[in-house]
Amino acid sequence: MNRVLALILAGGMGNRLSILAEERAKPAVMFAGKYRIIDFTLSNCVNSGIDRVGVLTQYRPMSLNQHIGLGKPWDLDRERGGVSILQPYVGRKASDWYRGTADAVYQNLNFVEETSCDQVLILAGDHVYKMNYNDIVSFHQMKKADVTIGIINVPIEEASRFGILSLDNQDTVVKWEEKPARPTGTLASMGIYVFQKQALIDILTEDAAKRSSHDFGNDIIPAMVERHKVYGFRFTDYWRDIGTVSSYWQASMELLAEPQMIDMRDQNFLIRTRSKEMPPAKISNKGNVHESLISHGCVIKGEVRHSILSPGVTVEEGAKVEDSVIFDDTYISSGVVINKSIVDKEVVVGAGAIIGFGNDMTPNADEPDNLASGVTLVGKRAKIPAFAKIGRNCRIDPSVREQDFKGQLTILSGKTVARVEGTRAYA
């Protein structure tokens, strides 16, 4: 694909992912064992022939910046084109923190203007899907559109989380509602926009002079629907917004379905990532693995069922992991039981501990909106005491030590264990 610039919005805080995104940007959260969420969008670009990519970062960018580096895993380490990390900085005109998704692009209009392109593809860095962007760009060019929006059908009960559109029989967008409280339709924006370059420059310059939230969904698209040629491109393959704990866990479990809902083995459309060298996974004569994804460097002496293990995880003899996601280099001691939980990197779980027990689904007292689906979270580098019992919808904060449990080995559903003092964890 020629003359297309891709800009990936990757600066979001990810509050709804709770402690998973506390010390890292949401697109940098691990997914599917060996990947980060942003790997899917970056790989889509490369697989679509787009080799000019800007990644707009802001919140906790360190691990994301380290992960992308010069872009070598995606073949984006090149003299012409390649990947550029675009962060707020003092010195540019009207410099400031990005105040919204549209403002993030506006503050980098010099990058857009200096790039030889006809279309600008605006993408979210926190969605999981495989898409050849040639299809939506070709549709955009055929329609001679000012902007084309990628759209997908979502369940009506989830529609209030998205921008909801109405189309006429020519696929022209005739109505737009951003996250309506009572949605009347299910055609949702995927956060994918193809703009004509000059149309993007003009509308962002106009918006910057107004008092607004400077957001594509709230401000830019509604204004363009009224007076520009705006079309919707229907996408029918697998796509997930995994911006909440429950949607993240659900999408992770969907990876284990047969047949797989998203094919990561397709050699013609690979999902690429930066991966550290580790030995192959090892399963001992007493280890059992069922319906799971096991990454390199894992050592399995216990039982793993319907779960995803990132690189370097150890499951000792007599331990059982079920319906869970375990991040890098976590150590699960003998006799441990982990059920319907997400355990961040470098956690140590003491012998005989239970994470995720019982039928009490009391929402978390500190995050009732984020932790209410029964998933328990354990933050990175936490140390879980031996024989601790942790219920549903619990939050064990990053770097929690055994003494932070204050001798209470039973943590009831909906409770939080916080680190009282000391250093913070890093992604």
Q: Residue 174: name the closest of 128, 127, 232 by CA.
A: 232
Is residue 126 a contact partner of residue 14, using CB atoms and an 8 Å limit?
yes
Average of pLDDT values for 46-74?
91
- Residue predicted with more confidence, 23 or 352: 352
Distance CA 158, CA 156 (A): 5
CB atoms within 10 A of CB 205: 11
Q: Is the predicted pLDDT of residue 36 greater than 90, yes or no?
A: yes
DSSP helix/strand/coil, 189 = strand
Q: What are the tens digits of pLDDT across the range 227-282?
A: 999 999 999 999 999 989 999 999 999 999 988 889 888 999 999 999 989 999 99
How do beta strands 293-294 and 239-241 pair? unpaired
Distance CA 125, CA 28 (A): 9
Average of pLDDT values for 374-380?
98
- Element holding 250 (H helix, E strand): helix 245-254
CB atoms within 10 A of CB 211: 5
Contacts 24+ apart (CB under 8 A), 412-421: 412/360, 412/362, 413/358, 413/360, 413/361, 413/362, 414/360, 414/362, 414/363, 414/364, 414/365, 414/371, 415/364, 415/365, 415/391, 416/364, 416/365, 416/366
Q: For residue 286, what pLDDT is reported?
A: 95
Q: What are the tens digits of pLDDT across the range 284-313?
A: 999 999 999 999 999 999 999 999 999 999
pLDDT confidence of 97, banded at 50, 70, 90? low
Average of pLDDT values for 89-112?
76
Average of pLDDT values for 379-402?
97
- Tell me the CATH class for 4-254: alpha beta
pLDDT confidence of 93, banded at 50, 70, 90? low
Q: Is the predicted pLDDT of residue 14 greater than 70, yes or no?
A: no
Q: For residue 423, what pLDDT is reported?
A: 47
Q: Is the predicted pLDDT of residue 334 greater than 60, yes or no?
A: yes
Q: Is the predicted pLDDT of residue 424 greater than 70, yes or no?
A: no
> What percent of the chain lies above the pLDDT cut of 70?
95
Q: How much is the mean pLDDT over the chain?
A: 93
Q: How far apart are the first and last CA of the chain?
A: 35
Q: For residue 96, what pLDDT is reported?
A: 60
Is residue 383 a contact partner of residue 348, using CB atoms and an 8 Å limit?
yes
Q: Residue 282: name the closest of 322, 309, 245, 318 by CA.
A: 309
Q: Residue 415: name the closest of 366, 349, 360, 356 by CA.
A: 366
| In the chain, where the domains are located | 4-254, 282-417
pLDDT confidence of 174, banded at 50, 70, 90? very high
Average of pLDDT values for 344-364?
98
Q: For residue 240, what pLDDT is reported?
A: 94
Average of pLDDT values for 405-418?
96
- Does this model's pTM top 0.85? My answer is yes
In CATH terms, the fold of domain 282-417 is: UDP N-Acetylglucosamine Acyltransferase; domain 1 (2.160.10)
Q: Is the predicted pLDDT of residue 12 greater than 90, yes or no?
A: no
> What percent of the chain lies above the pLDDT cut of 90?
82
Which of 15-24, 127-136, 137-146 is least confident?
15-24
Average of pLDDT values for 344-354?
98
Place of tokens 């939050």: 395
Q: For residue 61, what pLDDT is reported?
A: 79
Q: For residue 425, what pLDDT is reported?
A: 47
